[in-house]
Chains A and B, each alone.
Chain A
Amino acid sequence: MPTSWNDTLQIDRYLANKMKPGDALIFEAWLLLQPELADKLQWQQKTYTLIQGYGRRQLKQEIDAVHRQLFTEPKHQRFSHKIKALFNL
């Protein structure tokens, strides 16, 4: 593997489909030849999944806070009444 090659960055580009097809093929060959690289790829992929999960969790909390705000603050009363009326609440 070329010394200038940064594993983390290359894995990042490969997983994001940002490599040219030729480069991706070469990268896949390296994955077969170098178990450490394949190992790093596996954990980096898992890291992205966890970041995605973290992002969604944070976003859901933000959305839920907006919901509470809309249904409790007096300035949004017209809106909340309109919704509640639909469900006879």
Chain B
Amino acid sequence: MIIATAVTHIYKQYGMSNLNHSVAQRQELFIALYKTAFPSVAKYVSRLGGSADEAKDVFQDALVIYYEKMVAKLLPEKDIAYLVGISKNLWLQRYRETNKQTPLDNFDISITVEETPADKRLLRLLTTAGKKCMDLLKSFYYDKLPVTELADNFGYSGSRSVTVQKHKCLEKVRETVKQKSLTYADFME
């Protein structure tokens, strides 16, 4: 019951008025989700003969999917059943050979992003040479934080200046991606 209350509390923080996805708040959210949903997932995996590592593996990927749906506002609040459901399906799909044909209901479980070695190199470059830009763009496009909050988090005077900066960053990163991709492509040939 305490955990359910904690989850509600965190969802309130994620409400329209004060969307704060700072690292600390995400941590609080994940701890609550772990405590609420992971025992069911672990119980399921162990009953079917899976290992603790397998349970961890599928649950962590399920959390990523859950988070992405949550920030895109595609989930009802506190959808623990959904989180447990994706975990179970991921486990069946990955670790149970005989169940390869199991229909996956309506779960969208595409999680793996194929990264080429050139992409990895590029990302490494972008996050070392222009980390602030990457963090700003990530907060906007991945975490879907509102611009007012981006201004707070990144120390800009207001929505206007953070929008301008985001725009500059996008152009700068796009140019780097273009130049480096072409260079790496030459290098590979």
Contacts and interface: CB of A to CB of B under 8 A. Distances in A.
A86 B60 contact: no
A56 B113 contact: yes
A62 B142 contact: no
B134 interface: yes
B174 A63 contact: no
Given A50-B126, A63-B63, A43 B31 contact: no
A31 interface: no
B14 to A, nearest CB: 15
Nearest to B171: A8
B113 A59 contact: no
Contacts of A34: none
Contacts of A43: 174-175, 177-178, 181
B174 A40 contact: yes
Contact of A48 (B23, B31, B134, B141): B141
Contacts of B43: 86
Contacts of A72: none
A55 B137 CA distance: 9
Interface string B131-151: 000100110011100000000
Interface size class of B (residues with CB under 8 A): 35 or more
Contacts of B52: 83-84, 86-87, 89
Given A62-B30, A66-B31, A50 B177 contact: yes
A38 interface: no
Interface stretch (B32-40, B78-86, B90-98): B32-40
Contact of A51 (B34, B56, B137): B137
Contact of A59 (B42, B64, B174, B181): B64
Given A60-B64, A70-B34, 4 more contacts: A47-B170, A50-B123, A54-B134, A86-B46
20 contacts: A40-B174, A43-B177, A44-B170, A47-B174, A51-B137, A53-B115, A53-B123, A54-B123, A55-B138, A59-B26, A60-B64, A62-B23, A63-B60, A63-B63, A63-B64, A66-B27, A66-B34, A79-B34, A84-B52, A86-B42
* For the complex of A and B, 7 pairs with smallest distance between CB atoms: A55-B142, A43-B178, A87-B52, A66-B30, A86-B46, A55-B138, A47-B174
